[in-house]
Structure 1
């Protein structure tokens, strides 16, 4: 997508939410590969970096006072305390992307989605919830990762149902029983939303150009 075409439309805030194991992160990665103009919202967090994580790439690593200052100054679109660490989405880069007609992808839970949907940028939000095909399959996927203890999996399953219970707060809901099919449907949703009249402020200028041409040729 060219910069000129981007300038003719408003950017979207594409929110993907799902319980852990439903395929949200994989779908987000495939969406980024499908359209390289998409920006991924890099969250800020107060937790220490893990091995292989780079500041500004995986997260913006900040201390607690800095994080709280950003919240107090309204510089976070959404934020939450997760297991004693703060996470949030800085608003500045998102505003810049929207103004430039670029879409921003968010991988957040239902609370983050709700905060973004109620923010000053709510008119740009496109929210999609990903459901697993079954609870049994969800557990199988979590166990298949081979990285969590049975206790951690049990906790994730409990959290998963809490997340699923908020499915009806989203614009679109997809059941991920086939990753390729779900991805095709997700692409269709994004493509259609980009074509909405409200997302294309340049249309008015184009129609006026058509009017001038009509009056010149047919008048």
Structure 2
């Protein structure tokens, strides 16, 4: 759910769907009521049969659940720290996400909130700030903006790596998938050589050394997530 909050969030319509429940279900009503997803504007007759849906979040691994999906929100979460750090609320007992006037967590995406989300959002906000400290020490002449942008990129890469090389193989336990996900990140060279020598001969091939550091080619199409992807992750 933490990752999905980064990837997509469709708009809701006023129409509701009532999902019937079993008689012995302890839900407070006889059915569960959910808002139907709002379809995007129809641009072609084919959109009626296969509608598209607006994404309120920026797509893919840009950490928008932590950093926000707009420049205005990102500025609020970052504050005025000269080292590019995110605003956090420090107490004697620990460091937490700041709150708005209604007590809601100030973060990039705070819907469907529970303690698990609180922990992960706080954890990666702290990780961002730790990366900022390391960058400031290594590059004292960098501006706060450069530190922030670089730390965000590193943090997003960390989340992508965890999802690719650890989470997915743990959920879908199969030798072939483990090999495939490892190749996604490290290429056919594998992690041992890549960690020791980096991308061999500075190659840009995904096949040889994996996706990180390879060339980007979107074939002239702005990046987006397909509705098939959304449907699978909603399950």
Query: Smaller-chain TM-score range?
Result: under 0.3
Which of the two has greater helix per residue? Answer: 1
Structure with higher strand content = 1
| TM-score, normalised relative to structure 2 | 0.26
